[in-house]
Amino acid sequence: MRPACGDLLPCLATAPMAEEPGGAAPAEAPTYMLERRLEALNDEEGERLPTSLPRVIDAHVHLFPDRLFDAIWRWFDAYGWPIRYRLYTDRVVEFLRRRGVDRIVGLHYAHKPGIAASMNRYMADVVARHPEVLGAATVFPGEEDAGGILERAFASGLRAVKMHCHVQSFAPDDPALHEVYATCAAHDVPLVIHAGREPRSPAYKVDTYALCAVDRIEHVLKDYPTLRLVVPHLGADEYDGYARLLGRYDNLWLDTTMTVAGYLPGSDPRWVLRVRPGRVLYGTDFPNLPYAWDREVRRLRALALPEEELELLLGRAAAELFGL
């Protein structure tokens, strides 16, 4: 159930759409959120996080080898949005740490079979250099020895898994994922899975609306009750559905990544933050941002949430989930 609008202003999720000049109906929304490249925001950034904030853990930071960062940025240049912070892995960690972020959950994903093992070795090396980073493993759905790839990654010190339905072209309830889910559950390792339908783009090889749906994630939650599952971006754009799942399942978490910045097209989902405090994590998508690194945390602070809820959101919930 949504909190009343008075609990979380402005409540744009229920606000009427403005009319075009002359009283005409608003133009029809694009079929794809990323039908065209979005523009950057030239917003100001802070020098560091305010010391009055509770412990901040960024639960959604991308850390890739340089060549993969370059390829990802080329994709964003063509189809997504301008990347404000073109920083490679060591500089990403240094940037956030110097600005007051206490711990970082480092995420990556294999876009094709056969590369996950080397990517996991890369992430293990990152963790060895930067103990403030909790590194996630990755694996390509259905690839040979998927369970073994993950087990070796866990043995190397990686303590989460990241998968991406859009990039890796799979539905979350595909039977090919059984080995991945079973391995994560057996080792009690959280799985971060981009399973929301947005941002939809014609540049993807698949229709994300055909692959991704709240019901598909609910199948996974039911079938693997000991699997701890994190869905980023508050499950965009099916906010109501994921809020419902939060109330029903104790093995589900969401993260805020990019959805509380007031940047992406669509309704304002900040009401979801209060559906089940302690089950929503602060995350940013840094460094792949078109706006200031601290934009989201400033907007969260401005909500004037109860002190305990803000503490849970900004860091304590992630600390409990990932063992930080």
- Beta strand segments in the chain, E: 57-62, 103-107, 133-137, 160-164, 191-194, 229-231, 252-255, 280-281
Please compute, for residue 112, the number of CA atoms within 13 A of its CA located in the half-sphere on the CB side.
3
pLDDT in tens, 83-104: 999 999 999 999 999 999 999 9
Q: In this model, does residue 236 exceed pLDDT 90?
A: yes
Q: What is the pLDDT of residue 23?
A: 35
Residue identified by tokens 């539905």 is: 171
- Cα 41 to Cα 49, 92, 164, 293, 295: the distances in Å are 20, 20, 26, 11, 10
The fold of 54-322 is TIM Barrel (3.20.20)
Three-class SS of residue 255? Answer: strand
pLDDT in tens, 263-289: 998 889 999 999 999 999 999 999 999
Q: What is the pLDDT of residue 266?
A: 86
Q: What is the pLDDT of residue 10?
A: 25
pTM for this prediction: 0.89
Q: In this model, does residue 161 exceed pLDDT 60?
A: yes
